[in-house]
Amino acid sequence: MKHHKLNRAAFDPDNISPEGSLGLLALGDIGFEAWRKAKGHIRNNENLIDGAKK
C-alpha cells in the first residue's frame, strides 16, 4: 500500500479528489466545504453517467 504522508499541499479548489486529504481538512471550513462540493459534483456526474447508460 502506498505510504500516505500528512502533506501541507496548497489549497487548489479545482483539483480536489473525492477521497479528500488531511491537508484539506486542516484548512478548516473552506477546505471542508470545497471537498464536500467536489464529492457532490463527482457523485452527481456519476449518477448522470449511470442514468445515461440505462
Partner 1 sequence: MAQKNKLLLIGWDAADWDIIWPLVNAGKMPALKSLIARGTHGNISTMNPPYSPMLWTSVATGKTPDKHGVLGFIEVTPEGQSVRPVTTLSRKTRALWNIFHNQGMRSNLVGWWPSFPAEPINGYVISDRFQKTHMDPRLQTPMSPKSIHPWDKHEDFRGLRMFPFEITKAHLLPFVPQADKVDQDKHKGLNAIAKIVSENSSLHNAATRLLRTTEWDFMAVYYDMIDHFCHSFMKYHPPKHPGVDAQNHDIFKEAVTGAYLFQDMMLERTLKLVDDQTTIIVMSDHGFESGDKRILNMPKVQAAPSLEHRQFGMFVACGPNIKKNEKVYGLGIIDIGPTVLHHFGLPVGKDMDGHVNLDIFENPKPVQYIDSWDAVSGDFGELDNTQETDAFSDQQTMEQLIELGYVEKLDEKFEVAIRNTRIDLKHNLARVHMGKKDLAAAKEILLALLDEPQAKDYAPFYMDLIGISLKERNFEAALEYLQCVKTSGTEVKYNLDLTEAQILSDIGRPREALVLIEHLLQTDQTGPVWYRYGLLHYQLGALAQAKEAFENAIERDSQIPGYHAALAEVYLQLDDYEEAAEYALTSVELVKYFPKGHLLLGQALEKLGDLENAKVAFEMAAKLKPKEFPQAQQSIENLEQRIDLGIEYEDKVTNKHYDNQIVVVSGLPRSGTSLMMQMMDKAGVVALTDELREADVSNPKGYYEYEPVKALYKDNSWLDKAQNKSVKIVAPLLKYLDNKHRYKIIFMKRDLDEVVQSQQKMLGKSEATFPIKIYNQFQRLLASVAAWQKLAPGIEILYLDYKDVVAQPDKIAEQIQEFVGVPLDQEAMTQVVDPTLYRNKNKNSPQA
Binding site for partner 1 (CB under 8 A): 1-6, 8, 17-23, 25-30, 32-33, 36
Per-residue b or e along 23-53, where b marks 16 or more CB atoms closer than 10 Å to that residue's CB: ebeebeeebeebbeebeeeeeeeeeeeeeee
Closest contact distance (angstroms) between CB of 15 and partner 1 is: 14
Least distance (Å) between residue 1 CB and partner 1: 5
C-alpha grid cell, residue 14 = 479545482
Task: Please say which residue, 25 or 48, places its beta carbon nearer to partner 1.
Answer: 25
- Closest to partner 1 by CB, 9 or 52: 9
Between CA 16 and CA 19 the distance in angstroms is 8
